[in-house]
Structure 1
Amino acid sequence: MTMIQTEFERDELTELNRFNPYLKGIYAPVRKEVTALDLEVEGEIPRDLYGAYLRNGPNPLNAPEGMHHWFDGDGMVHGIFFENGKAEYRNRYVRTRDHEAERAGTLDAGGILEPIRRERSALTTYKDTANTDILIHNGTAMALWYVSGQPVRMDPRTLETIRTETFAGRLPKNVSAHSKVDAQTGEFLFFDYNLYNPVMSAGVVSADNELKWFREVELPGPRLPHDMMITKNYMILMDLPVVFTEAGLRNGMWQIHQPKNQPARFGVVRRDGTGDVKWFETEPCYIYHGCNAWEEGDKIVFYACKMVDNGLPPNPEFGPYAPMAAVLALQAELHRWTFDMKTGQTTVEHLDDRRTEFPVVNLDLMGHKTKYAYHVTIPNTHTQVFDGLVKYDLESGNGIEHRFADGVYGAEPAFAPRVGATEEDDGYVITFLTDSATGRSEALILDARDFGGQPLARVELPQRVPAGFHGTWAPGDQIAVAS
């Protein structure tokens, strides 16, 4: 197979952006939106694998001229759809309003390393890329952005953009990435935050796409949360000690720090929107991604990847991008928090010292007790790459690893239940792999019950899948025909 030329040509990048590691190699954008219906397979795709693995990530439409953050790239979803032992691949841009404006030459917003455009609506302080997360709700996919933007509905098979989602015009603000869907109720539970004001918000949308309630939560100051979790009866919001500096707040610049002695707080909110927020405090920490949470009597059990210091100094080869790269090269370890709703006590347990992140579970059990979680493993490098997977037993903290070949890096996986499965781990784990030497990408299919064994199938993809952010599984029987 002949590889499609995918990287920015050297003369397209400014002298400044030639230092930027997140515009080169496995991070460089691809040029084309592709549909490929006849893919080469090594091994055999299980016939009881039915649905789509989708993965979102940044893919700049145009070569940036100013300072470019990895989070600034236009959202692009790559998807592989499985049915009857065959696979189809597609990739499409997430056509946010700002993406369409850039195509038309009328974009009036910059990236997060540039001063904010105060003349823009507070809903869209920076360019809205919808490049971070993707989930399935009401039969279609929704692409979401970490810095909080407007959700974008997409057809989960064709990946064509359907519309910007406002929940019939009732969405008061924005939606942050890592909002959640409860597969057992079909509800979409979301949060939002304000970069420069001391408030967070939360809401719930029904399985029929109706906004059930929305409320604001006052905070001691502006915050930069990344995730939230859900249980059967609660939402868990995070007030964590990573905030804008005083100069950043004053000048409208993306300048963050971790204040000393500011505790981490977890706010428990009832899913029916009633009652006060119940706050739990712990020692300072930061969490990018939660794993799962559930209720055990009067207690909430919460699993997440807690950040640790990677010990690496900024890389001078990255020039002015060295500080950005140092923050993005995240390292974290699996921990368990227990919040006692009766006594207000919190306990924290360190479960494993492997550096793992981007955790996923069987989404049918999100917010309910799970035994297993699937994480990427992260080497201690100057840019963020994933060099393997681990299947955790959450009860013991033990894990089984599946390592990738040297120089081959993966994406956040998804767990796909086998058609007719009745047990939690009866299914498959899917991810995209890219060889950093050749640019060749493939989809990897593992048997979740033989995690350390040989792959069931490798599906060759027609072009490189750039390193990106989050993925999900879209069950075939739940995917509606988009209109």
Structure 2
Amino acid sequence: MTTKIVRELPNHIQAGDHPYLQNAWTPLRQEVDAVGLRVLEGHIPTDLDGVYLRNTQNPIFPAMDRYHPFDGDGMLHMVSFRDGQVAYRNRLIETKGLQAEMEHGGRLWAGLMEDPALSKRPGWGAHGSIKDASSTDVVVHAGKALTTYYQCGEGYRLDPQTLDQQGIPPWSPLDGISAHCKVDESNGELLFFNYSQYAPYMHYGVVDRHDRLVHYVPVPLPGPRLPHDMAFTENYAILNDFPLFWDEQLLKQGRHVVRFHRDMPSRFAIIPRRGKTEEIRWFEAAPTFVLHFLNAYEEGDEIVLDGYFQDEPMPRNFEGAPKGYERMMSYLDQYKMGTRLHRWRFNLRTGQTSEQRLDERVLEFGMINQRYAAKHYRYAYSAVQVPGLFLFNGYVKHDLVTGESWQIALPEGQFASEAPFAPRLNAQSEDDGYLVSFITNETTQRSEVVLIDALRFSDGPICRIELPHKLCSGTHSCWANGEDLRDGVLS
């Protein structure tokens, strides 16, 4: 392996007893370029072509009071595969907030668990006072990687292969871009939403394949809400209004305290992809909160939506957590929230909703073959969380047609990343390809990139490749096909 250190980063963080500043969440202090990565097991497939991008929370400066892992500065990691060769690089995402704090030499903005009054400058996001760290999600649209933030931010673009910084999209609206925007590979469109503390509280937009904002409409809500994800079909976008949101009276005092309103239904907004506000149709369903959806498609008069239903959106405080972090740790524990694979059906003719539990296991952070997004699909790949920690240690493959499933578990001390599906060159079926993931090995104190052959899922990783350093954990990732990048499908 040949590794070039591009930049050494400052080390101001003292972990103490904070669970999300140590072990697999230890912040990384180098930016590097690496080629000739060492294969630890198996061989690099020659029928894999593209880039795996992973966004991680990597704080540079200590918190003002209490650190939440979603406050960490965005760091993007890239692994490219082509002709049996693999390369890696990582870069901090040069947000306005990070640049200002680097110049200042310390934190300027309060975090998710801190008093907004601590912020020394006006901030971003639905809070209105926190830093846009652009550290949550990443997609590839119009030939560029686009990173986004948990509670809405401006979005930042980087070259998906070199990770060169390319700034904020010129179309980024005043209320920003939500954490999860969606790219339709069939036509190159990007669909997004945002939300705020003032009416109409939500907007929905479409950016075409040429990176032009071509549609932007209000989605009026009864008050400030906390939507996190969306879905789309061939003809519709699906937004939501869940009964988990800030306490309205405390919000008037500047306090952001989340409450779950069990007596209120979940509501789903279905709007034509270029539809007007008056064309929105609302559907009610069982009260819950959903962090992430898998896919949606049209089937006769119905729209089918799959995602992860939370049985306990406001779980009890985590016993044994460090003092002051009991609530945070409970909201990061999928076992406490009871996140389970779920299906909603919205009948456009009758206006009725039906629901179905697809699996009783605690699962989340699902992925599909993106060539089947908005289409009737068969296979889904979910991550298995470590009880009590925001870390993954396995995956489940579902056959949604037969109801079969297969599960693999990592060895003790190894933790996975969200694993997107990478189609094999000249793929012959929906599951003809690989899951790509970073693995952090706490025993060796190293990280790897691993490949799982989806056709031989139960075999586990068929290729393990050493990375030049140990990565800090994070949230989301994506795969971009090399052919699509070169042929302009994604650009």
Q: TM-score range by the shorter chain?
A: over 0.9
Q: Deviations over 1:78-130 (max 9, x none)?
A: 11111111111111111111111111118743212223369726665310001
Which of 286, 303, 328 is the aligned partner of 1:283?
A: 286
* CA root-mean-square deviation: 2.5
Q: Are 1:83 and 2:86 an aligned pair? A: no
Which of 272, 275, 279 is the aligned partner of 2:274?
A: 272
Letter of the aligned partner of 1:413 in structure 2?
Answer: A
Q: Quote the residue 1:173 is aligned against.
A: 175
Q: Deviations over 1:310-342 (max 9, x none)?
A: 977513341111211111112411111000011
Distance 1:454 1:333, change over 3 A: closer
Distance 1:127 1:468, change over 3 A: same
Distance 1:12 1:292, change over 3 A: closer
Aligned mates of 1:309, 1:281 — CA distance in 2: 18
**TM-score, normalisation: structure 1:** 0.92
Q: How do residues 16-31 of structure 1 correspond to structure 2 at under 5 angstroms?
A: 18-31=16-29
Aligned mates of 1:368, 1:229 — CA distance in 2: 12
Q: How do residues 378-393 of structure 1 correspond to structure 2 at under 5 angstroms?
A: 378-379=385-386, 381-393=387-399
Identical positions, percent: 37
Shift of 1:8: 9.9
Shift of 1:440: 1.6
Q: Deviations over 1:391-448 (max 9, x none)?
A: 1112244311121111211010010011122421111111111123332211110111
- Kept in 2, the 8 Å contact 1:281–1:346? The answer is yes
Distance 1:82 1:70, change over 3 A: same
* Gap regions ≥5 residues in structure 2: none
Q: Quote the residue 2:333 is aligned against.
A: 329
Which of 396, 408, 414 is the aligned partner of 2:414?
A: 408
Q: Quote the residue 2:247 is aligned against.
A: 245
**TM-score, normalisation: structure 2:** 0.91
- Kept in 2, the 8 Å contact 1:8–1:63? The answer is no
SS in 2 for 1:470: strand
Q: Are 1:136 and 2:140 an aligned pair? A: yes
SS in 2 for 1:319: coil
Aligned mates of 1:196, 1:325 — CA distance in 2: 29
- Kept in 1, the 8 Å contact 2:123–2:130? The answer is no
Q: How do residues 220-369 of structure 1 correspond to structure 2 at under 5 angstroms?
A: 220-274=222-276, 275-309=278-312, 313-331=317-335, 332-369=339-376
**Which moved further from structure 2: 420-429 or 337-346?**
420-429
Distance 1:335 1:317, change over 3 A: closer
Letter of the aligned partner of 1:61 in structure 2?
Answer: I
Aligned mates of 2:316, 2:251 — CA distance in 1: 28
Q: Quote the residue 1:32 is aligned against.
A: 30
Q: Quote the residue 2:208 is aligned against.
A: 206
Shift of 1:247: 4.8
- Kept in 2, the 8 Å contact 1:19–1:319? The answer is no
Aligned mates of 1:209, 1:244 — CA distance in 2: 34
Letter of the aligned partner of 1:43 in structure 2?
Answer: G
Shift of 1:196: 5.7
Aligned mates of 2:465, 2:137 — CA distance in 1: 23
Shift of 1:454: 4.4
Q: Deviations over 1:39-79 (max 9, x none)?
A: 11121111010111111121001233421111100001111
Q: Deviations over 1:429-471 (max 9, x none)?
A: 1111112333221111011111001422101111112111001
SS in 1 for 2:20: helix
Q: Deviations over 1:227-256 (max 9, x none)?
A: 000000000001001111235412323311
Aligned mates of 2:424, 2:458 — CA distance in 1: 18
- Kept in 1, the 8 Å contact 2:317–2:327? The answer is no
